[in-house]
Amino acid sequence: MLKQIFSRTLPLLATIIVCIAGIMLGNWQTRRAQEKENIALQIEQQAKLPSALIDANQLTMPRAFQRIHLRGQFIQQWPLYLDNRPMNGKVGMVALMPFQLSESNKAVLVARGWFQRDLKERTKIPRLEIPNGEIEIAGIVRQHLDRSMQLGADEIITPGSILQNLSSAEVAATLKLDMPEWVLEQTSTQGEGLQRDWPVPSNGADKHRAYAFQWYGLTVMAFLFFVVTGIRRGKHTK
């Protein structure tokens, strides 16, 4: 008797677990697709607007993916580098620098561009042009820098550091500057030797939809398999 109950209960529990997991993973992939579709809509809307000049008193105003330009100067002594940032199938780094706005103690962290990493010597940084004096730069607002997997404790930020991850708040605390949380992906041409073909964060919505379909399909298959095998088992026991 116990054996019969166990033989019937175990497949039911396994089916329930598989169905719940499939629905949850399918819903998660669907949400990811919706997020990227919303991002694509934001990018499209912001692309229709003219680039706005933002001064030190307007740093809380920009929206994600808004095109803006800033007037000020790069803090020359503080180049920073984000490691393990591939682009077009090549391993590389993103060069970052704080940009201090004119006549203020406020700054913005600027992603200046990407360069390919030296394959023989990881820490070898190519000579990068840093504009001197007051200039005007243009770019696109990103809410934060993308993060990569990091093992171990947070790294100490020093001039020229090669880091796995970084935030504006960490730079602001180190330099004792007032900085917004958002980051500017530079699109203007100052700085030779850097690529600015920034990846579009909205890419991949169709991929997430496909994954969601697969998970929902697995859920349906698991349910049908349980029903069919249950019917067959019932016929054999008669």
**Count of other CB atoms within 10 angstroms of residue 76:** 12
Per-residue pLDDT of the chain (238 residues; tens, 9 = 90+): 545 555 667 777 888 888 888 889 889 888 888 887 777 777 777 777 788 888 888 888 788 889 999 999 999 899 999 998 888 888 899 999 999 998 888 999 999 999 998 878 878 888 888 888 899 999 999 988 887 766 556 678 899 999 989 999 999 999 999 999 999 999 988 666 788 888 776 666 778 888 888 888 888 888 888 777 766 665 555 5
- Radius of gyration (Cα) for the chain, nearest Å? 26
pTM: predicted TM-score of the whole model, two decimal places: 0.73
**Which phi and psi (to 5°) does residue 206 adopt?**
-65, -35
